[in-house]
Amino acid sequence: MPAYKAPLREMRFLLEELLDVGQLSRLPGHEEATPDTIAAILAAGAELCERELAPLNRPGDEEGCHFENGVVRTPAGFAEAYRTFVAGGWTSLAADPAYGGQGLPKIVNFVIEEMISSANLSFGIYPGLSGGAYQALSLHGSDVLKARYLPRLADGSWSGTMCLTEPQCGTDLGLVRTRAVPGEDGSWKITGNKIFISAGEHDLTENIVHLVLARLPDAPSGTRGISLFVVPKFLPNADGTLGPRNGVGCSRLEHKMGIRAAATCAIDFDEAVGWLVGRPHKGMSAMFTMMNSARLGVGLQGLGIAEIAYQGAVAYARERLQGRSPSGAKAPDKLADPLIVHPDVRRMLLTMKAQIEASRALAYWIGLEIDLAGRHPDPARRQAADDLVALMPPIIKSGFTDLGFAAANLAVQVWGGHGYIRDNGMEQLVRDARICQLYEGANGIQALDLVGRKLGTGTGRLLRRFFHPVAAFIAEQQGDAAMAEFTLPLHKSLARLQQATAWVAETGLRRPEAAAAAASEYLELFGLVALAYMWARMAKLALGRQQGEDGAFYQAKLATARFFMAKLLPRHASLSTSLMAGAEPVMALPEAGF
């Protein structure tokens, strides 16, 4: 198994040098979140991930979860690691101090989520789901529900789930069948069967809080008739202690390709007592308000997997001796050169590195904007941040999870046949990475969301929040000859993206099928340009710092930026040509022809 080392230098470069994380401590309520405090928290998080969580990743995969008589046991060591996690206050980082949280900026959580995903994706799913439940309740729950559940989710003694999926209902949530009928004292009785519920049952916490989509008796059909409920495994007493067991049970544990230490459960509700969260029939809009952050979270999972795959590939490429460099022996004292001298191996490593570093920059930029959207004193700045944050989730979710899977595959390739052998731990990354492209809205659905919802919002207002800073950055660099090698290709790719955007918007109005056929390629093109923008910004910083004490770090940044511009960004041309081919190439073949 590759040893995980959190890329703290890289993280500080982005937070402190590129993004000025210091601006957070000037926001009301975040005065204590200085760069030094944030760096200290990240260093502690890195230690937890490297020492506690990463060593459990492979044994957890080998052992998997156990299911007996409705009870789920996590693999050896998970319960203890969870106790350490809770004792360290890691479940309450960004939670509201009014409910026992530490009130830290969201960006801190972002970085920690990435580290956890690198160290042990399965483990991270348990607190990740609790974070989702916390958010749903804090945004839409009544004061009574918030007081009852939020402190226990924040302190980690209870965990959360999101119960959407049913056997007949995956992407299309309008097909939900689970029913809710009025119960006593304003409660509801929930009956139905949910499947694929992450952290649906386990032995890490004393109670599990299910957030469940269900229909009221008078509900309109489709997505307009869905309501959101909170349904605890144990019903809490008025004093907060645990009362009787509710009518919720796990009937099956799924046997799956990856994340085998994360319990994925079929959960049955049999007249289970629940409480409405938000308004009747408004469950979908409640889900949508928290979906953006859940999608960013899954994007970070993809990034985390890509990082650990890259670390494993680099370590192996330095140590494995095979063949000689085409330009002559590089280690003449040894029987062969290390893999890392070979151009094709370097191509694979740089393909990972160049996308990972720019993706991380993009993720942290958006993470910081979430904090600005919440607390900046200027309403116009808050709105601008909010718009950008609303635009980016499909690009980050889809782009980063595709990267996670591609990087895990490339890392196996670097390891050769040894990558395919279980004992070495690389194949687990491929299996684990795969789910991120599927859950929280499959990646094809993210593309449809970008094209169908985000593009049109406010007649392109969200889009302009991205296009304007990129165009402004290019314009600012015009007199800087050293930047031309980065800004010229960025400019070209931005022009392609703008042309493709106009095409999608226009064609979408006349022929929705053509826009839908173009959606995935459009999303990929958008992601590519976003990464190019992050590389150009990083290159600008690095150009001025090559001579300093840490010169090698910045020289590596420039070499990687050059690789990205020369070898990865040119794909924008084929993507835009292909996406503008319209619907015909994919729709012309009659169904019988398949």
Ligand X SMILES: Cc1cc2nc3c(=O)[nH]c(=O)nc-3n(C[C@H](O)[C@H](O)[C@H](O)COP(=O)(O)OP(=O)(O)OC[C@H]3O[C@@H](n4cnc5c(N)ncnc54)[C@H](O)[C@@H]3O)c2cc1C
**Catalytic residue numbers?**
440
Fill in the per-residue mask, 86 to 115: x = in contact with ligand X (CB under 6 A), - = not in contact.
Answer: ------------------------------
Q: Considering the rule CB under 6 A, would residue 46 count as an interface residue with ligand X?
A: no
Q: Which of 164, 211, 216, 490 is close enough to bind ligand X by CB under 6 A?
A: 164
**What's the closest the beta carbon of residue 253 comes to ligand X, in angstroms?**
11
Site membership for ligand X, residue 352 (CB under 6 A): no
Contact between residue 400 and residue 523 where contact means Cβ atoms under 8 Å apart: no
Task: Rule CB under 6 A: say whether 121 interacts with ligand X.
Answer: no
For residue 452, what are its two tokens? Answer: 């169908």
What's the min distance (Å) between Cβ of 161 and ligand X? 6
Q: Of the ranges 164-172, 350-358, 373-381, 585-593, which one interacts with ligand X (CB under 6 A)?
A: 164-172
For ligand X, the closer of residues 214 and 542 by Cβ is: 214
Residue from 26, 10, 14 nearest 375 by CA:
26
In the complex, least distance from residue 133 CB atom to ligand X, rounded to whole angstroms: 10
Q: Which stretch binds ligand X (CB under 6 A): 50-58, 134-142, 194-202, 460-468?
A: 194-202
User: Quick one: which segment of 225-233, 402-410, 431-439, 531-539 binds ligand X (CB under 6 A)?
Assistant: 431-439
Asked if residues 180 and 214 have their Cβ atoms less than 8 Å apart, the reply is yes
Decide: 304 and 7 in contact? Cβ < 8 Å: no
Please tell me whether residue 364 binds ligand X under the rule CB under 6 A: no
165 near ligand X, rule: CB under 6 A: yes
Q: Which residue, 31 or 172, is less far from ligand X as judged by CB?
A: 172
Nearer to ligand X, 49 or 197 (CB): 197
User: Is the distance from CB of 188 to CB of 235 less than 8 angstroms?
Assistant: no
Structure tokens, 218:
């008078």
Cβ 35 to ligand X shortest distance, Å: 35
Which range binds ligand X by CB under 6 A, 162-170, 282-290, 299-307, 365-373?
A: 162-170
Per-residue tokens: 12: 């500080």
Please identify, using beta-carbon distances, which residue of 398 and 477 lies nearer to ligand X: 398
Q: Strand pairing partners for 212?
A: 163, 229
- Bridge partner residues of 321 (DSSP): 338
Quick note: the x/- pattern for ligand X over 252-291, rule CB under 6 A, is: ----x-------x---------------------------
Note whether 583 binds ligand X by CB under 6 A: no
* Angle, vertex CA 318, rays to CA 313 and CA 324, nearest 5: 115
197 sits near ligand X (criterion: CB under 6 A): yes
Determine whether 288 is exposed, middle or buried from the number of CB atoms within 10 Å of its CB (0-12, 13-18, 19+).
Answer: exposed
The answer to whether 384 contacts ligand X (rule: CB under 6 A) is no
Query: Which of 407, 426, 139, 506 is closest to 294 using CA atoms?
Result: 139
Choose the binding region for ligand X from 391-399, 441-449, 484-492, 523-531 (rule: CB under 6 A).
Answer: 441-449
Whole-angstrom Cα distance, residue 388 to residue 370?
9
Name the residue among 339, 297, 406, 414 with its Cα closest to residue 2.
Answer: 414
Residue number with the smallest Cβ distance to ligand X: 170
**Do the Cβ atoms of 65 and 75 come closer than 8 Å?**
yes
Decide: is 438 part of the binding site for ligand X (CB under 6 A).
Answer: yes
**Shortest distance in whole angstroms from residue 395 CB to ligand X:** 16
Beta carbons of 503 and 580 less than 8 angstroms apart: yes
| Ramachandran class of 321: left when φ > 0, alpha when ψ lies in -120 to 50, beta otherwise | beta
Q: Pick one of 53, 115, 136, 162: the residue that binds ligand X (CB under 6 A).
A: 162
Task: Compute the distance between CA of residue 400 and CA of residue 305 in angstroms, rounded to an integer.
Answer: 10
Q: Is 452 in the site for ligand X (CB under 6 A)?
A: no
Q: 258 with 433: CB under 8 angstroms?
A: yes
Instruction: Give residues 19-38 in contact with ligand X (rule: CB under 6 A).
Output: none
Per CB under 6 A, 170 contacts ligand X:
yes
Write the DSSP string, 41-107.
HHHHHHHHIIIIIGGGHHHHHHH--EEETTEEEPPTTHHHHHHHHHHTTTTSTTS-GGGT-----HH
Helices (H), 320-342: none
- Please, what's the b/e burial string for 391-417 (b: 16 or more CB within 10 A of its CB; e: otherwise)? bbbbbbbbbbbbbbbbbbbbbbebbee
Q: Give dist(CA 273, CA 269) in Å, integer.
A: 9
Minimum CB separation of residue 444 from ligand X in Å reads 4
Binding ligand X by CB under 6 A: which of 354, 445, 483, 532?
445
Stretch 238-257: interaction string toward ligand X, x if CB under 6 A: ------------------x-
| Angle separating helix axes 484-510 and 571-579, nearest 10 degrees | 10
Interaction site with ligand X (CB under 6 A): 162-165, 170-171, 196-198, 256, 264, 435, 438-439, 442, 444-445, 448
